[in-house]
Amino acid sequence: MPRQLRTPAGVKSANGRGPGSTRRLPILSDVAHEAAVSLTTASRALDPDSTHPVADRTRARILAVAARLAYRPNPMARALRTRRVPTIAIVVHDISDPYFAEIVRGATAAASARGFLTVVCSSDRDPMTELQYVEMLCLSRVSGVIFAGGGLDEAQYRQRMSGYARSIAHYGGAIVALAPRSEHWPAEVPANRTGARLVTEHLLSLGHVRIAMISGPSTLFTSRERELGYLGAMKAAGVEPRIERADFTIAGGADATARLLSAGPPTAMFVASDTMALGALAEMRRRGIGVPSYVSVAGFDDIPGLEFIDPRLTTVHVPMAELGAAGVARLLRHLDDGDLNTRTNHHPVQLVVRESTGRPREVSLY
């Protein structure tokens, strides 16, 4: 349809498609036409970060028309030109896990404040699913991708991931990690090692010697960092470490606890995430084992809702929402100012002692 014959915006369309139909959204040419300027000038006046000069009177006129028509630029048309959609993606391992839900909450709030939409991709802890999502994101030309979960140390995964990352960098997209990864990406991560050290030292100071750790998969960098803190504190105290592995889920935490209890049960357990600690607590209850009377349990993350489980869990507070917001801020610094710094910022964590840890039991369990 030639431009001239098009029904102008703000005028009821002649062939209204029934009662639900309404006027079409105004486009740039509507504004330009009404303000009696060219498309170019209208575009420049409306673009907040255009450096091209526009006469004050002209600009004022254009802005007035735009406001009256409630004009908003079409993001797709703009994206086609600028080669990037105003969307930020956040890739998480499991959106149902309160840890990731909190990060997403912080990130979406920060992103929407800047006019960015946030896409959430939850892989349900399957690396292949995660890679598929990243491929989709890459094809969609999202402005940036935030990886909330830790990376995997597995050849094929790393290779495909770095291929996508290169592709994203190629079209000018930004990448930020909120957990440790092998890739050298800009990162905003919690002080995992320090936190693990603090919590282990807390258990040691209570008099525990047989302190086991329930960690995540050995291929996950987050597991490794938390193990490092635990191992360091154990070594410094001259006591023997013991690591059992799970998959960062509640059920996994329960299973690992069962294994730990059936072979020389420890007097204290440091669980690498609160979610797994919930599973540990459930397994204890199922077996009638008192916490902390028989076994002390400490978690990591300080997820919301912890005040409602019994006993209240000793853990390491990670500023999840702030981490999400910091990730978005970092991403925007790349997009806005071309900041390509790949420094890793460590966010401080804090030991929160509650009711699930206490002095070691006097009697043996068996």
Partner DNA sequence: TTGAAAGCGCTAACAC
Partner DNA sequence: GTGTTAGCGCTTTCAA
Q: Which residues bind DNA (CB under 7 A)?
A: 1-3, 6, 27-29, 36-41, 43-44, 46-47, 50, 52-55, 57-59, 73-74, 77-78, 80-83
Q: State the residue for tokens 């206490």.
A: 358
> Among residue numbers 81 through 100, which ones bind its own copies (CB under 8 A)?
85-87, 89, 94-96, 98
Q: What is the C-alpha separation between 201 and 237, in angstroms, rounded?
A: 9
Q: How many CA atoms lie within 13 A of 35 on its CB side?
A: 29
Site string for its own copies, 331-360 (x = CB under 8 A): ------------------------------
Q: How far is CA 335 from CA 63, 160, 363, in A?
A: 26, 24, 60
* Residue 12 binding target from DNA, its own copies, none, CB below 5 to 8 Å by type: none
- Out of 93, 133, 143, 150, the only residue in the binding site for its own copies (CB under 8 A) is 133
Q: What is the C-alpha separation between 62 and 42, in angstroms, rounded?
A: 6
* CA terminus-to-terminus distance, the chain: 85
Min. distance of Cβ 37 from DNA in angstroms?
A: 4
Min. distance of Cβ 341 from DNA in angstroms?
A: 23
Q: Which is nearer to its own copies, 308 or 366 (CB)?
A: 308
* Residue 54 binding target from its own copies, DNA, none, CB below 5 to 8 Å by type: DNA
Instruction: Report if residue 293 touches its own copies, rule: CB under 8 A.
Output: no
Which tokens in the block code for residue 364?
Answer: 């043996």
Q: What is the C-alpha separation between 249 and 261, in angstroms, rounded?
A: 18
Burial label, 341 (beta-carbon count in 10 A; 0-12, 13-18, 19+): exposed
> Among residue numbers 243 through 262, which ones bind its own copies (CB under 8 A)?
250
Q: What is the C-alpha separation between 237 and 235, in angstroms, rounded?
A: 5
Min. distance of Cβ 233 from its own copies in angstroms?
A: 28
* Residue 128 binding target from DNA, its own copies, none, CB below 5 to 8 Å by type: none
Q: What is the C-alpha separation between 256 and 248, in angstroms, rounded?
A: 11
> Among residue numbers 139 through 158, which ones bind its own copies (CB under 8 A)?
139-141
* Residue 2 binding target from DNA, its own copies, none, CB below 5 to 8 Å by type: DNA
Q: What is the C-alpha separation between 169 and 336, in angstroms, rounded?
A: 15
CB under 8 A, 24+ apart: contacts of 129-135? 130/91, 130/93, 131/157, 131/160, 131/161, 131/164, 133/89, 133/91, 134/91, 134/161, 134/164, 135/164
**AA letter at 224:** R
Q: What is the C-alpha separation between 216 and 97, in angstroms, rounded?
A: 15
Which tokens in the block code for residue 165?
Answer: 């990352």
Instruction: Report if residue 366 touches its own copies, rule: CB under 8 A.
Output: no
* Residue 8 binding target from its own copies, DNA, none, CB below 5 to 8 Å by type: none
Min. distance of Cβ 313 from DNA in angstroms?
A: 50
* Residue 38 binding target from its own copies, DNA, none, CB below 5 to 8 Å by type: DNA
* Residue 39 binding target from its own copies, DNA, none, CB below 5 to 8 Å by type: DNA
Q: Which residues bind its own copies (CB under 8 A)?
A: 17, 20-22, 24-25, 72, 74-77, 79-80, 85-87, 89, 94-96, 98, 101-102, 104-105, 108-109, 112, 115, 117-122, 124, 132-133, 136-137, 139-141, 166-167, 169-171, 250, 278-279, 281-282, 285, 304-305, 307-310
